[in-house]
Amino acid sequence: MLYPGAPRGCTNETDLSHACTQAYPRTQVPALVETELGARVTIPCSYNVSGRAGPPLVEWFITERSGERRRVAFTEGGRSAVDTGTEYTGRLVLDPHHGLELEAASLADERVFSCQVTAGTAGSAEGTAQVRVYATPEPPEVRVNPWALSVTESSASEVATCISRNGHPLPTLTWSKDGDPLDTPPERNDELYAVLRSVREASGLRSASSTLYLRPRKRDRAARFRCHVTFPRPHGPPGRTASSPFTLVLHYYTENVNFTLESPHGGITKEGDDVVLRCHGDGYPSQAYTFNTVEGRDLGTSADGRLALPRVTRADTGTYRCRVLDFDSPPEVQLERELSLHVHYLDTPVLQPSKMATVPLGGDLELRCAATGSEAPQLAWKKGQDWLGPGPLCPACPGCNATIRSTSW
């Protein structure tokens, strides 16, 4: 095992060769230093020198993109200084333990920093640290397709675009439906896929977008979609954020039609009632509706599926038909429904004699009452406030007779 910072040929502290028993420096620098953009960052560098050696020279170097090394700071003989003429002049300081401190990390600091310790004739040792800078992206922005998507399309349609701006490194964008992740391959197909794009902003930060393509089904009309952003963070698990849920505007054909009666008395309709016949298809957007009787009488067209019949009479009794004018529905869908309306009625009873009858004192008087209705009426006689007999006398006959015998005052 090669001991960090040891001269070449020294494999461990117990190596007793002449070269390894001489004084040599050893350094300890973390291999990876992670920080948030704009945060203060410290890169520690500790060392020790075995044997006898004078005060070491501690130097910090950066590695340019070209591979060239450039010194930015040093400590020698107890004096620390920052080199002039570099991009770090005025941006960094050396702490009392020879560590390198940056006031506010920038993306340009994502590079390799080297701490080299030189101990005179004992030689030198070096440790390197890779600095990683992280930036949390802005909350995702979702732009939903404002147009209605048709379920009759044979290929996937553009649903929405999610944009995550100004992150570093590049965030990952995914989609979900009703809380379940969507498996969106990047390859174009007729069912489901997502197109990913990324751009480097002028600031050096990264922005990503994902456009979701989906072949919608009618069952998706109430589905809630979200865009999810996953981004790396220093010293911990990835960060996650999600957009607000959104739904789709779908255009789907009618599959089911309901035809109902709305009456003030529930299931019974009487003459004089205001009645509404309501026809409803489950397609979207809503289509026009036509109404007629089974005999062919045209009752007009309605945009909301509502046919009002004010103050109905017995003549309105019959079978009504509604039809949804949805030309996208396949031929096997039944777009017509029928409904029977029965208007109950009761005619004014006819009394004979009608107004006044004259009868000798002690004589008999025969009265006749007749009534008709949608159902056989029940008839009963009263004298003043008193029932004549035990109650209704003729529960099932269209006419009812009563005889008053031995009339008196």
Whether 18-134 shares its CATH topology with 141-251 is answered: yes
Q: Which CATH number fits domain 18-134: 2.60.40.10, 2.40.50.90, 3.40.50.2300, 3.30.360.10?
A: 2.60.40.10
> pLDDT band for position 403 (50/70/90)?
low
CA torsion 244-249-255-260 (nearest 10°) is 80
pLDDT tens per residue, range 4-40 = 444 444 544 444 444 454 556 789 999 999 999 999 9
- Cα torsion 113, 118, 122, 128 to 10°: value is -10
Tens digit of pLDDT for each residue in 150-171?
998 999 999 999 999 999 999 9
* Domain residue ranges of the chain, discontinuous segments joined by +: 18-134, 141-251, 257-344, 346-409
What is the CATH number assigned to the segment(s) 141-251?
2.60.40.10
Q: According to DSSP H, which parts of 98-215 are helical?
A: none
Banded model confidence at residue 49, pLDDT cuts 50, 70, 90: confident
What is the topology classification, in CATH, of domain 257-344?
A: Immunoglobulin-like (2.60.40)
pTM: 0.71
Buried b (16+ CB within 10 A) or exposed e, 125-135: bbbbbebbbbb
SS3 137: coil
